[in-house]
Amino acid sequence: MLTEKKMAMAAAALLAGLGLAAAGEHDIPPAFGPFLHPSAADFAGAKSFHSGDRIVGTYYFYWYDAPSKAHVINLPQGTDALTDHPPSLRDFSWKSAAWHKKQLRDMEEAGIDVALPVFWGAPSEHEPGAALYWSFEGLKPMVEAREQLAREGRHPPAIGLFYDTSTLANNSWHEQIDLTTDYGRRWFYATVRDFFSCIPAKDWAMMEGKPMVLLYAAAFAKAHDQSFIDYTKAQFAGDFSGRAPYLAAQDSWGVRADNVCSWGGALGLKAPGIGELGPGYDHSAVPRRQPLVAPREGGKFYERNWEKFLRNPSPMVMIETWNEFHEGTDICQSKEYGRQYIELTRKYTALFKEGGQPPPH
């Protein structure tokens, strides 16, 4: 939860450490996954919300891989990269369907309707050796996990996209993308296309039949205007059987979209359109950051923000986050907090969906 300039610098430092090489403008590759042009039958069982529904979503960080220590150990320092920790490192990996299955099952138990994987995939990352290839690699076991749960008669959250726009400035081609150009618009759209080409239509989270896409900060784009939004909607409809995406742009973009989201809800409630809240914040494990802590207060911070939201709710609220252990915004089961925040989330999501109000102080 840094300023946009600092976020861009932090992302650049992170990916510079992965040894990304400079390159010129590249051809945009074809869709990464096989699920283009879905038929009506492909949407059987898909979850589509309506504008009046009360919806709870969360941001799902799946970049961890304990066997390789990716996003678990700071390199080259060799220090612990996590402020909070999973209960065990066993199966703690984007490659593990068992790990994804447990996360999705716990989200369901917490009352969460929509999981937004934090996607770092981009046209530059299609090859297995690319620095961010894991973002594609993790989607297949995630889908497998969700479909296992559905076959078992459970109702796991549907899957939407959180487009981590860090990749507009930090990627394996070392390009900063100008979204006012034809190349930039095609790059941006390809990222959205690639994600949904990897997710069967029956697993999509949709609003009025449109797949959900939330955008991170505008600061990573070299430049932008309304055209990249309009282009993405038109091109997506061509590749996905006439369905344009439901786009919520972070308030830093200043464009016309279907809704407005924010970032920083873990520090305190935000409600530019979609509500954003979280349990607190502490990025003390992240190298080269200035101290920033919003104490959890034993759960009271989270409860206060839920209660504030419930007094003037929007139809949709995003919990920030399910499992960002680096920044200590996790509400999933953890070594530090057990299932406390899953239980608190279940309490408040039920109250939200029932239209209830918190008790007066």
Per residue in 236-251, pLDDT tens?
Answer: 999 999 999 999 999 9
Tens digit of pLDDT for each residue in 157-209? 999 999 999 999 999 999 999 999 999 999 999 999 999 999 999 999 999 99
What average pLDDT score do residues 45-71 get? 95
Q: Where are the domains of the chain?
A: 54-354
Residue 18 scores a pLDDT above 90: no
Quote the CA–CA distance of 201 and 179 in Å, as a whole number. 27
Write out the CATH class of domain 54-354.
alpha beta
Residue 231 scores a pLDDT above 50: yes
Tens digit of pLDDT for each residue in 20-46? 433 457 999 999 999 999 999 999 989
111: CB partners within 8 A, 6+ apart: 56, 345, 346, 349, 350, 353
Name 204's bridge partners: 159
On whether the CB atoms of residues 195 and 121 are closer than 8 A, the answer is yes
Read off the pLDDT band of 47 (50, 70, 90). Answer: confident
Question: Mean pLDDT lowest for which of 55-59, 119-123, 286-290, 334-338?
Answer: 286-290
Two structure tokens written together for 347: 């309490």
On whether the CB atoms of residues 115 and 159 are closer than 8 A, the answer is yes
Tens digit of pLDDT for each residue in 294-332? 999 999 999 999 999 999 999 999 999 999 999 999 999
Residue 1 scores a pLDDT above 90: no
Q: Which residue is listed with tokens 């050796």?
A: 129
Residue ranges in 51-164 assigned as alpha helix (H): 97-110, 134-137, 139-151
Residue 158, H or E segment: strand 158-159
Burial, 358: exposed, middle or buried (Cβ in 10 Å; 0-12, 13-18, 19+)?
A: middle
Question: Mean pLDDT lowest for which of 63-67, 75-79, 159-163, 339-343?
Answer: 75-79
What average pLDDT score do residues 217-245 get? 98
On whether the CB atoms of residues 63 and 120 are closer than 8 A, the answer is yes
Read off the pLDDT band of 19 (50, 70, 90). Answer: very low
- Spatial CA neighbour of 320 closest among 281, 273, 272, 346: 281
On whether the CB atoms of residues 299 and 340 are closer than 8 A, the answer is yes
The DSSP bridge pattern shows strands 79-80 and 73-74 to be antiparallel
Instruction: Report if pTM > 0.95.
Output: no
- Cα 37 to Cα 43, 47, 197, 232, 351, distances in angstroms: 11, 18, 9, 16, 39
Quote the CA–CA distance of 289 and 140 in Å, as a whole number. 33
